[in-house]
Amino acid sequence: MNGFENRVKGFEAKYRVDQENEFKVIARRNRLLGVWAAEQMGMSGDAVGSYAKEVVESDFIKPGEDDVVEKVLADFGDKGIAIDETALRKKMDELRTVAREQLS
């Protein structure tokens, strides 16, 4: 192997690690969002953990985070909690930062 091939393999390995880390950050963010949303809806105890798990699993429905946003907005709507998409996405951004800090 020459130097160029080593660099390519190094970049590929770094990309793979970065993607795995990003997946973990998003999953943690979704769990934190689920806990926060459950508390906003008045849940407690095991219901909080169950709901957080539902939110994490909802992210596997389709690519991107729209499925998570749709779930939480729908659940808030069912409970009569007023929140708009912009506010929810802002909260998701805040929790993403928290998740990244927790995982570093």
Q: Report the chain's mean pLDDT, rounded to a whole number.
A: 92
Look-up of token digits 């770094």: 14
| Topology annotation, domain 3-103 | Major Prion Protein (1.10.790)
- 46-93 pLDDT per residue, tens: 999 999 999 999 998 888 899 999 999 999 999 999 999 999 999 999
Helix axis angle, 46-58 to 66-78, nearest 10°: 140
Residues 6+ apart with CB under 8 A from 40: 76, 81
Choice between 104 and 71, residue whose per-residue pLDDT is larger: 71
> For the segment 5-49, what is each residue's pLDDT rounded down to a tens digit?
877 777 777 888 778 999 999 999 999 999 999 999 999 999 999
Write down the domain spans for the chain. Answer: 3-103
Please report, as a single letter, which amino acid is at residue 33: L
100 pLDDT more than 70 = yes
pLDDT number for residue 3: 78
pLDDT at 86: 97
**pTM for the whole structure:** 0.87
